[in-house]
Structure 1
Amino acid sequence: MEAVARSDAQTTYRRLGGGTLPDEEVRRGYFRDDVPLATGEQLRLGVGQEVHK
């Protein structure tokens, strides 16, 4: 992961179908750690079904 200019992020976000890039406060809210590990879904680290094509 590397930092990019906001203009590059806006272009990529729009190209991927996201529309207008939300402001920084909204984007930071997407990364809140509000799910306790004990109650979150298990992380599967093995070979499995391909989900992104």
Structure 2
Amino acid sequence: MKVLVTGATSGLGRNAVEFLCQKGISVRATGRNEAMGKLLEKWAQSLFRRI
């Protein structure tokens, strides 16, 4: 299964991405906060890939 999560740089979207990745689901994530996106990318390089 593949899932697209919008608003992944904060709040519910961020939690959804973390939960889905822990379940082994392929996730694409988008968000408007570039700085938070870069921070998340460093935090979870194995979970997130910048596109």
How high is the TM-score relative to the length of structure 2? 0.31
More helix per residue: 1 or 2? 2
Q: Which has the larger radius of gyration?
A: 1
Tell which has more relative contact order, 1 or 2 (C-alpha 8 A, sep 6+): 2
More strand per residue: 1 or 2? 2
How high is the TM-score relative to the length of structure 1? 0.30
